[in-house]
Structure 1
Amino acid sequence: MNYKTFKIAGLVMAATLCFSSCTKNFEDINKNPYGSTDEELAADFALVPALLQQAQRSIYLYQPAPTFQLQQNLLSDIYSGYMMSPTPFGGNINNITYSFVDGWINTTFSTGYTNVMNPCYKVAGFTKGKVPDSYAMSLIVKVEAMHRTSDIFGPIIYSKYNTPNGDGSVDYDSQKDVYYTFFEELKTAIDILTPLADKPSSELFKKSDLVYGGNYKQWLQFANTLRLRLALRIVNVDAAKAKLEGEAALANAGGLLQTYKDNFTVDIGSTTHPLNTICGSWGDILMGAPIGTYLGGYNDPRLPLYFKKAVDPAVKDRYIGIRNGINIDGKARYADYSKLMDLPGKLQLVTAAEAWFLKAEAAIRGWAGAGNAQTNYETGIQTSFNQYSLGSASTYYNNATSLPAEYIDPKAMTAGQNDIKKGSQYLSTITIKWEEGVTLDRKLERIITQKWIANFPEGQEAWSEFRRTGYPKLFPVVVNNSGGKVSTTDFVRRAPFPSNEYSTNGAAVAKAVSTLSEPKDVGGTHLWWDPKK
């Protein structure tokens, strides 16, 4: 799709899906789409499964594909190092080169509110104090979706959602406050599900569940894993709270996600995965250069399961990606570099492999209940191998010599974009085999690098972890169109709030910006959990 088509698609989506700021038109946004009144449907909770299914399918919005493209693909998927677009949208002046397209960012901001926050808010109203298991699901899904929104923007409207002030404005929570609320809500959900873990689920819960078929224990394991993920997210800024929440997750009797069969993947049936559309019929997303250098250098057997070989004559039969933020004169230049392999009808959000890597990091930090770091690390790799039916991972995780490969692009328009050679500060020297007698930071790089490989293609989490840890090492943009708002060497740290929020909720946005680490609503401002070093 070209830039003009994106504009048209945005208008169509706005008209058909009523995407708008959560601070406007609350009555319309909350209007029941099924014809009956909420009171009539609430009587037998007939609306609950439909709302919870909508919310699950919209964490990583699967349909329509243009909305997902703006929600995540032309932002987090690219900043993560997983993917890159061959299409020079807007004359190559867009999110990828750090010049944020306001219309794109408005969709990024609003999708979580319209498609997840709103239905979960309604379900909570129906079920709180009446149907505890469904209430717990609504809290877990809401946290999983909205922590992603917060990890893009920082402060978000959360505890005051649907509670406008007298002037119609709606207050934001600072990122610290919203994370503390996430932990409270996860604790509530975990406390509800813990005594239910080994019991058969209710029919209402089964009907609502697109992930685990109504299995309480797996939902409990997912909630614990999510709690540990968010605990580690804040470890650099609030170490005591991080340890408290992380150890609580590790201590819960339900445990974390264990095997790949526990992966939190949302079933979308026969519907085409949005990445298949964006990569296949549109040709707007391909392999990113960084992941190609890691998988290729490590001789990783997941490489041909993630990507296809290039067909461009200049790189034919090679696995090669496109470097982020480079000069691109036209789509044809890179259209035949490595494409993504087609993905199944499931949206992968959290894997059991990630849970093991979270435990590995908790272990090197000395958290109670985390176990042995090396065992967790190697189990994480093996769990990812099991997910792809690759057999034993022992040869791979005992490889102490392989390193990420250099990146040379034979079709580069700018000489400076071929600087990822041996000795470059952006080319990692991390090997695969666990080393015990090294620094915590060296252990962390090894853990995060393998977690990043295992989590593909979930770019939102990958970008968040890169900002938190600096790992895996990625390549800086060559073309920076931010006008000094984003440092090339510091990388992009967040997205600015869209103009629609300023026009409809300006005073609240200004107050929210004041809670950022630097009171500037720009892409270079670090989030609360990402303090500037």
Structure 2
Amino acid sequence: MMRTFKYKLTRSLAIAGLSSILLGSCTKDFERINTNPYGMTRDELKADFRLVGEPFRQIQFNIFAVQPGWVMQVQQNLQGDIFSGYMGVPGPFGNFGNNNSTYNLIDGWNQVMWGCAYGSYIDAPNIAVMPIASRIMKVAGNEFADFKAWLLILKVATMHRISDVYGPIIYTKFGVINPDKSIDYDSQKDAYYAFFADLNSAITTLTPLANDPLKPFSKFDLMYDGSYKPWIKFANSLRLRLAIRIAKVDPAKAKLEGEAALSNPVGLMTVPADDARINIAPVEHPYNAFSDSWNDIRMGAPMESILTGYNDPRIKLYFKTAVAKPDGYKGVRTGIALPSKMYEDYSRLATFPSKMQLMTAAEVWFLKAEAALNGWAGAGSAATNYENGVKTSFDQYAIGGQAAAYLLDNTSKAAPYTDLKNAANNVPAGDPYLSTVTIRWEEGDAPARKLERIITQKWIAMFPEGQEAWTEFRRTGYPKLFPVVVNNSGGKIPTATFVRRINFVIPEYATNAKGVERAITLLGGPDNGGTRLWWDKP
């Protein structure tokens, strides 16, 4: 049904709200997406939704802060990408390897992700997700229900990532300043419940509009060109992701939310065309610089072990052959002695197009497979969903014809890992950290074995989105990864249990100390990388 939008925003509110959004910057360079609205008449601004729509570009562009590239390098690449086993650092970063890779968590690196979510949220909000979201809600008033729904989806897509790194976050209490000038955090459980409420609100608003031809988002939508239906599918899929995440710690709530996602009439993401990818063109994908220009990242050792062991054809689409092993692939183990940049001749990453992967249909099939293992209504068959996940991942890379033979393989396993430069880093056959799970679905396997198979294939399919892969590893213990050889955490992070989170950031201790103090009680353990998050139940 076509709808008419009314605009009653005052000039002062519109200019105050939009200018406060556009003038600041987390990543300092948004020239491409900051189309200046002030050269237009007010009627023109009304006609193309720019008053309320322009900030949405900033939110999408800031989920992965891609410009300048070093921001995303410390926001994601030197956190989730290496902790997940996807990638490894080839050199010491001028600190003899005494950094995140060896569990000496660097505050200057790890506060960037928090900053791009919040900015200076007490004094002068800048280009950061929560300040932008707050201002959109104020500027939009009550007249842009679909824009508000879109905002809620984007906010959850961004902020669950923040919570999955730090734990308790400022979400429902954002902007609520206590008399002592502190701001309270939500526990991770409360944050997740708020995520579900926001997704439910967005889905309820947008579902009746699924087939509406109106595209008010189109000028500002960097993922789906403004169409409602793919946003509903993404929201349902995100709801299922978060439901699966809490299934061990809160099974009743997980089932309720998961079955709601599975039963929505618009459905979930099912084919690569549904994938959530943020178009950052003409900005180049930052991984291309990390790998080829800066020589700061290489293939991870677990990726080499699993992909070569499985003879997985996706390897050549993820990585380049290694100078150190012509016509072959070599990965760097995370957490090793690095006296120099000695692993530059290991496998670089493949060249990526200018799109940032947020979620794929392949991941959603694996979520459905796990939901089926849990017995949730509407999940279907775990075996069928698993096989569809693999097929959809292959289709994503236009190699769908190779999926059938791959899925029949019941002998290939992860390969032992050999470091060509230091035998102390080897992982031989029989090592407890080397997976023995095979590819073919085996209905007679124990539930834990089935889960390992699902998560291992999901881990392969989600590449290069390392934060989500790290989160799923923490939640399930799969796929099996190699522990660090050098642990510089001072005992805070046990080697055998891997890094579980990132500590609260130094600026928060400086400006919101009482809020952080209360947040630590919500965390349920010391503020360090060894403390498990709420959903990270052993």
Instruction: Verify same fold: TM over 0.5.
Output: yes
Alpha-carbon separation, structure 2, partners of 1:129 and 1:202? 19
Structural mapping, 1:330-345, within 5 Å: 330-331=340-341, 333-345=342-354
Give the secondary structure class of the aligned counterpart of 2:497: coil
- Of 519, 522, 534, the residue aligned with 1:528 is 534
CA contact (8 A) 1:128 1:135 kept: no
Aligned counterparts of 1:500 and 1:57: Cα–Cα separation in 2: 23
Structure 1 counterpart of 2:264, from 246, 252, 256: 252
Q: CA deviation at 1:64?
A: 1.2
CA shift, 1:154, in A, is 0.1
Q: Which residue of structure 1 lines up, in the alignment, with residue 410 of structure 2?
A: 400
* 1:23-172 matched pairs, under 5 angstroms: 44=46, 45-89=49-93, 90-114=95-119, 115-127=128-140, 129-172=142-185
Q: In the TM superposition, what whole-angstrom CA distance separates every residue of 1:411-461 from its partner, at most 9, and x where no partner exists?
A: 01xx4321x111111000000000111111111100011011011000010
Residue deviations 1:117-136 (CA, integer Å, cap 9, x gap): 22222222233531111111
> 1:193 — aligned with what?
206
User: Residue 109 and residue 83 in structure 1: after superposition, are their counterparts in 2 closer, same or farther (change >3 A)?
Assistant: same
Distance change >3 Å, CA 140–CA 425, structure 1 → 2: same
Equivalent residue letter for 1:453 = I
CA distance in 2, matches of 1:484, 1:431: 35
> CA RMSD, aligned part only?
1.9
What are the ranges of 5 or more consecutive residues in structure 2 without an aligned counterpart?
1-22, 29-33, 120-127
CA apart distance, 1:379: 0.6
Query: Counterpart of 2:247 in 1: which secondary structure?
Result: coil
Residue 469 of structure 1 aligns with which residue? 476
| Correspondent of 2:390 among 376, 381, 385 | 381
Change in CA separation of 1:127 and 1:202 when aligned onto 2, cut-off 3 Å: farther
Structure-2 separation of matches of 1:290 and 1:50: 41
SS in 2 for 1:353: helix
Call closer, same or farther: CA 1:372–1:35 in 2, change over 3 Å.
closer
Secondary structure of 2:523's match?
coil
Matches within 5 A, 1:254-403: 254-312=266-324, 315-331=325-341, 333-392=342-401, 393-403=403-413
Report if aligned partners of 1:41, 1:47 keep a CA contact under 8 Å in 2.
no
Query: Aligned equivalents of 2:35 and 2:60: distance in 1?
Result: 18
Equivalent-residue separation in structure 2 for 1:389 and 1:19 (angstroms): 34
Counterpart of 1:362, as a letter, is A
Aligned-partner Cα distance in 2 for 1:33–1:453:
38
Uncovered stretches (5+) of structure 1, i.e. residues with no partner: 1-14, 21-31
Q: Give the alignment partner of residue 237 of structure 1, picking from 249, 269, 272.
A: 249
After TM superposition, the structure 1 stretch with the greater mean CA deviation from structure 2, 122-131 or 78-87, is 122-131
2:220 maps to 1:208: yes
Give the structure 1 partner of residue 509 of structure 2. 502
8 A Cα contact 1:136 1:188, kept in partner: yes
Distance 2:447 2:361 in 1: 23
Aligned partner of residue 355 in structure 1, secondary structure: helix
Residues in 1 aligned to 2:101 and 2:221: alpha-carbon distance in whole angstroms: 35
The Cα of 1:487 is off from its aligned counterpart by: 0.4
Deviation >3 Å, runs of 4+? 15-20, 32-36, 40-45
The equivalent position to 1:457 in structure 2, one of 432, 452, 464, is: 464
Residue 411 of structure 1 is aligned with which of 421, 426, 446?
421
| Identity of matched residues, % | 54
Q: Deviations over 1:63-83 (max 9, x none)?
A: 110000110100110001100
Instruction: Tell me which residue corresponds to 2:193.
Output: 180
1:256 maps to a residue whose letter is L
Residues 509-518 or 284-293, more deviating? 509-518
Residue identity opposite 2:500 in structure 1: R
Secondary structure at the aligned position of 1:347 is classed as strand
> 283-292 vs 105-114, which deviates more?
105-114
Between the aligned partners of 1:469 and 1:85, the Cα distance in structure 2 is 25
What is the alpha-carbon distance in structure 2 between the residues aligned to residue 466 and residue 494 of structure 1?
A: 12
Q: CA–CA distance in 2 between the matches of 1:230 and 1:427?
A: 28
Higher mean C-alpha deviation, range 205-214 or range 44-53 = 44-53
- Cα pair distance change 1:179/1:506, threshold 3 Å: same
Calculate the TM-score normalised by the size of structure 2. 0.89
Match of 1:6 in 2: none
* CA deviation after TM superposition for structure 1 residue 391, in Å: 2.5
Give the Cα separation in 2 of the matches to 1:178 and 1:525: 18
Whether the 8 Å CA contact 1:48–1:208 is kept in 2: the answer is no
Q: Identify the match of residue 235 of structure 2 among 192, 200, 223.
A: 223
Cα pair distance change 1:169/1:41, threshold 3 Å: farther
Larger mean CA deviation between 89-98 and 356-365 belongs to: 89-98
SS at match of 1:136: helix
- Given that 2:368 and 2:379 are in contact with CA atoms closer than 8 Å, whether structure 1 keeps it comes out as yes
The one-letter amino acid of 2:25's match is L
**Taking structure 1 as reference, are residues 50 and 35 closer, same or farther at Cα in structure 2, changes over 3 Å only?**
closer
CA contact (8 A) 2:26 2:115 kept: no
Give the match for residue 492 of structure 1.
499
- Please tell me whether the aligned partners of residues 392 and 400 of structure 2 are also in contact (alpha carbons under 8 angstroms): no
CA contact 2:501–2:533 (8 Å) conserved in 1: yes
Aligned length: 496
Q: Which whole-Å CA distance do the structure 2 matches of 1:171 and 1:360 have between them?
A: 37
Contact 2:26 2:116 in 1 (8 A): no
Specify the alignment match of 1:514 in structure 2.
521
